[in-house]
Structure 1
């Protein structure tokens, strides 16, 4: 009887410890959610993936933010096009895009790739982003841009493929975003985004910014758009 009671106490304590442990881990590093954080699933999406909304840099004047997977260089390296429209005027705007490369990473206790190191300007700038969630049908994605170490607050963007972006946000994805990415969000997508012309960064910057100094500032503005 004593052995049975002792076994129960040990099991109960272990369960409580595991529960407490999962609560202390942020969503993106909680093993309970690893199955929805396989970033290779994002890399397998064809066509444009638009940012629906995000909760950081909410005062940006850019709109129609999007990403397109271009080429698989090896099992963990991909080239991308990152684009955004430097105006909210649908009659005069266009998508300005730059090339980027992403190297997939594993963070924390992840056994499968869950993050990527995005590089710009031949390695001159880089940023690590983690996948917070991708739905089973790949119609909704939440990427973690940054998490404040002291406050724990997360900066996120919610993305949807072009084929799904004009529909509603899947309920599960919406709940995960609201619960893990608090604060004011800005809507970055509109239906006209799909109709805008795409211009490469050199050509577009010549048109939009003019001088070399202004073009350099323009490129940096696009990366942080």
Structure 2
């Protein structure tokens, strides 16, 4: 009984610590369809999960739309001086019955990724998403379009990320990264 209670409290504490907005006001999830509409490569500028990665210059490009809720994305990253890429099939799923909009899921190397949109920039030039991986890792990512990667991050996205996403930050973009700006 004590073990079960301790386990329950530990899980609740971990979930609260990792969720965006835990120390701030609660925000509703936004529609992941907004990101699917972008016709540019998206750059993972920084994130607050999976900090131990050796990869940099992470990107995602919408390559093909199969239906309103089925897409193929090309994911790219740089390891040392070499760029690597692979494709994943992304499915948009309804958030839930009481909220309009979608979240997205895909599987890579046996890990299921569930992404929820937290903030969309005014011109869809930046996004803050929350990534929940089936291996237990989770946290926010701040993405920008490749054409805007060298511009200041729009305040809406930067402020949300800074104030509502917990954890230690890792910057994945640097000036040596090369991205295709159009998918």
Q: TM-score range by the shorter chain?
A: 0.7 to 0.9
Q: Higher RCO, 1 or 2 (CA under 8 Å, sep at least 6)? A: 2
1:193 aligned counterpart, secondary structure: coil
Task: Describe the shift of the 1:125–1:195 C-alpha distance in structure 2 as closer, same or farther (beyond 3 A).
Answer: closer
1:112 — aligned with what?
101
1:98 aligned counterpart, secondary structure: strand
* Aligned positions, number: 155
5 Å matches for 1:19-98? 33-34=28-29, 37-87=30-80, 93-98=81-86
Using the size of structure 1 for normalisation, the TM-score is: 0.62
> Where in structure 1 are there 5+ consecutive unaligned residues?
1-24, 88-92, 148-153, 197-225
Q: Confirm or deny: 8 A CA contact 2:56 2:77 kept in the other structure.
A: yes
Task: Describe the shift of the 1:174–1:43 C-alpha distance in structure 2 as closer, same or farther (beyond 3 A).
Answer: same
Q: Confirm or deny: 8 A CA contact 1:101 1:120 kept in the other structure.
A: no
Counterpart check, 1:186 vs 2:174: no
| Counterpart Cα distance in 1 of 2:54 and 2:27 | 37
Q: Confirm or deny: 8 A CA contact 2:59 2:179 kept in the other structure.
A: no
> Cα RMSD between the aligned structures?
2.6
| Counterpart Cα distance in 2 of 1:76 and 1:174 | 28
Please state how far the C-alpha of 1:125 moved relative to its aligned partner: 4.1
* Structure 1 runs, 4 residues or longer, greater than 6 Å off: none
Q: Which protein shows a greater Rg?
A: 1
Using the size of structure 2 for normalisation, the TM-score is: 0.75
2:8 — aligned with what?
none
